[in-house]
Structure 1
Amino acid sequence: MTDTGNDADVIVVGAGPGGSSAAFHLARHGLRVLLLEKTEFPREKVCGDGLTPRAVKQLIKMGIDTTEEKGWLRNRGLRVIGGGVRLELDWPELASYPDYGLTRTRMDFDQMLATAATDAGAVLRTGTPVTGPILDRTGRVVGVTATGPGKEPLEFRAPLVIAADGVSGRFALALGIAKREDRPMGVAVRQYFRSEFRHDDDYLESWLELRSRESGDKLLPGYGWIFGLGDGRVNVGLGVLNSSVAYGKTNYKTLLADWLDNTPAEWGLSDPANADGKPQGAALPMGFNRVPHYTRGVLLVGDTGGMVNPFNGEGIAYAMESGELAAEIAIQALARPQGTSRERVLANYPAELKARYGGYYRLGNIFVKLIGQPQVMRMATKHGMPHPMLMRFVLKLLANLTDPRGGDAMDRVINAMTRIAPAA
């Protein structure tokens, strides 16, 4: 599968979960893989500390040890708070996914995945930001330009490039692939706090309503979360969607402080002295907000392709899944001669993404528009939260956790909904 004269069979831009997953699966099948990362490990990244069973499945595929002895904290499910109700929903028991989630900080999570990729045979170069594509006479990408740790200009060549450089999508932008403004977008802000009371919680906690004590128990925009990390700290944060009137018009860090000031004092989240670092924010590109996912020798994965789940803001699982799929497609494509036959295989990448997620993301796009209206959110929490069976259905829908074949009645309904919805 090796093309003589190239530095690699595939260049992967970005060593986040999507890029490292792609590099791992490529290298495991014997391809020469060059994984380029602009930063140095370990590194801190915003969000992503709470992993659903969907992400856990990908970790298991990569041979990652997810035991507590290795620093992971397992969780049983999701605790939902809203409408005056506190409901604990266990992850569903499915054949397709494990029945537990995990938490771990991004400080070493990404490094762990990158190490798995290098152990499989990929070559990792950190401190090497990619600056743009190298094009041949036809406009096809045949490599990348980059800057080395000493600021020296570098060039690397390969017949395929996987762009996994995150929400900024600079590599895609260099090819003229801009994000779509008609797709959902969110912003998330999170902060770590020391909290002996909450740090070892065995549920991820989701707050559907945020209230401010200073404003007379005023309802705040957005939704919140609290994830125990098992090391004496918790990850607390909130997200606001672009369907909300508050999007882009709010100081999100102040919003976070207002909400936390209304939490119980014994949790330690309302005391700035317990903060472990400053609040940090990140954008959440949702529902395929950047397409096409394949063009001219480049495949987009994860946040670069806008693959965050519109229902729950989960991005890591979809980054890793799309990374694995991109690797599978690249392996098959490079086994064929360059030209029409190879392009036929590569064109199957966006088609397969649409088949897997298109209908589901379309439903998610509608969901985002609805919950951006405060009256709809109030009605949903008031009338939905008191009904555990309905909320178990909602959990499966929001977390995209169903068995594709067989399964229970809820699975069949959700699967039917995603099949009949027009692809996003």
Structure 2
Amino acid sequence: MFDCIIVGAGPAGGSAAYHLAKKGHSILVLEKLSFPRTKSCGGGVSPAIAQWFDFDFSPVVQNHVSQVKYTFKMSDPAEVELKNVTPMWMVQRDQFDNFLIEQAIGQGVEFKADTEVTGVSLQGDTWQVETNNGVFKSKYLIAADGANSTVAKLLGFTDTQKIAAASLQVPGEVSDRRKITAFFDFGSLKNGFMWCFPKADGYSISAAYVRNPQGKPDELKKQLTKYAELFDLDASQGEYREHSLNLWQKDRPLHSDRILLVGEAAGMVDPLIGEGIRPGMFTGVQAAAAVSNALQGDANALANYTETINQEWGANLAKADFLANLFYKAPKIAYKLGVKRPTAGQLMGKILCGELSYSQVADKATQKLKFIPGIG
């Protein structure tokens, strides 16, 4: 019998496991894939996550981004040097996720990879988790199993809007200048955008339909291939993967009896720029505190978790959703009169680096955007 079973070993699950184990609780993490495993993700991480941990992530940070280059339909560029911010981290998700789980194991977490959950049931005060490798029991359960969460489906949590996304990992030489630059392209993908993050020996190029649930994956591949050519890369030499993103849904319950949803299972994806790692890790840290409090007798701990996420992060994502709606009404005009302005580019960069929140800039951005023809 464990104090808590965590299903999923991504950033959210790993964060929850580490902090629960540090508090002395017995924790089991179940992961359906082998570890380390390849993950379809751009791999940009806000350095703001460091405040939640007492260890150094530098062993898995490949390079630091201090510049952002924006384009519209792969032209009309605007380049911004980020000032007075801690540069954004570039990571490979297989290394990053594995490193985090290793830290958790070092705190006493038990980890089982290649273990797929096939059923869950609450029997009295005990969760029974059925897997291909046997049955495990715990007092509490955390679902950290991604956008298509098996656990959330099995337990009847309301489904959320999912969008199509894809990534293309392409090997290649990365110049010193490109190593410090993140690239974003708007307009090439209708109701979506693309981004390119440099790594030590290649590029992670991604695309998502942030405003088009019916967007076709074929178009993602077509546009990612064209975007790769902009960087003199041969897409055929890369690894292409499609996946879903689970966008934030306001006021969605993130808990039930002795269970919490975290990460993408909770819809913790930024609806404007697609950031998911930092908000996911925030939910993991908060879930660990909630479960620990519940184990110590706090009857309101899990409900407080849902309220905390909705208030402290959900309100911010709601602002991002509002701005995304404005932007995609007339993206070309919004790009020229919004993104291309040096101050706006700086603000977006600071949000990526975790130095600003949407709540801090949304009102000012709205005042500028609402007077643009086609948007206001």
CA distance in 1, matches of 2:21, 2:280: 18
The Cα shift of 1:290 comes to 8.9
CA contact (8 A) 1:220 1:255 kept: no
Query: 1:170-185 maps to which residues of 2 (within 5 A)?
Result: 170-181=150-161, 185=162
Partner of 2:70 in structure 1? Answer: 80
Aligned partners of 2:9 and 2:29 also within 8 Å: yes
1:146 aligns with 2:138: no
The count of aligned residue pairs is 363
Q: How does 1:295-306 map to 2 (within 5 A)?
A: 295-306=256-267
Instruction: Quote the residue 1:162 is aligned against.
Output: 142
Query: Do the aligned partners of 1:27 and 1:33 also contact (CA within 8 Å) in 2?
Result: yes
Matches within 5 A, 1:338-353: 342-353=298-309
Partner of 2:39: 45
Helix, strand or coil for the counterpart of 1:173?
A: helix
Distance 2:144 2:359 in 1: 31
Shift of 1:18: 0.6
Matched, 1:254 2:216: no
Aligned match of 1:392 in 318, 340, 346?
Answer: 346
- Structure 1 residue runs of 5 or longer lacking an equivalent are 1-6, 94-98, 149-153, 211-218, 337-341, 404-409, 419-424
What is the distance in 2 between the residues matched to 1:372 and 1:413?
18
Indicate how the Cα distance of structure 1 residues 416 and 191 shifts in structure 2: closer, same or farther if over 3 A, else same: closer
> Structure 1 CA distance, aligned partners of 2:339 and 2:301?
46
Conserved in 1, the CA contact under 8 Å of 2:42 and 2:167? no
The structure-2 alpha-carbon separation of the partners of 1:415 and 1:356, relative to structure 1 and needing over 3 Å to count, comes to farther
Counterpart mapping for 1:176-325 below 5 A: 176-181=156-161, 185-198=162-175, 201-210=179-188, 222-230=192-200, 232-241=201-210, 243-244=211-212, 247-248=215-216, 250-261=218-229, 263=230, 267-269=231-233, 271-272=234-235, 275-277=237-239, 279-288=240-249, 291-325=252-286
- Normalising by structure 1, report the TM-score: 0.78
Structure 2's unaligned 5+ residue stretches are 367-376
Report the Cα offset of residue 80 of structure 1.
2.2
**C-alpha distance 190-359 of structure 1, shift in aligned 2 (>3 A):** same
Identity of aligned residues (%): 25
Residues of 2 paired with 1:118 and 1:345: CA distance? Answer: 25
Letter of the structure 1 residue corresponding to residue 206 of structure 2? G
Residue of structure 1 in register with 2:372 after alignment: none
- 1:346 and 1:104, CA in 2 relative to 1: closer, same or farther beyond 3 A? same
Contact 2:64 / 2:87 at 8 angstroms: preserved in 1? yes
What is residue 373 of structure 2 aligned with on the other side? none
Q: Taking structure 1 as reference, are residues 221 and 390 closer, same or farther at Cα in structure 2, changes over 3 Å only? A: closer
| Partner in structure 2 of residue 421 of structure 1 | none
Report the 3-state secondary structure (helix = DSSP H, G, I; strand = E; otherwise coil) of the residue aligned with 1:284: strand
Structure-2 change in CA distance of 1:131 and 1:109 (3 Å) = same
Using structure 2 for the length normalisation, give the TM-score: 0.87
| Structure 1 residue 272: Cα displacement | 4.1
2:305, 2:191 → 1: CA distance?
37
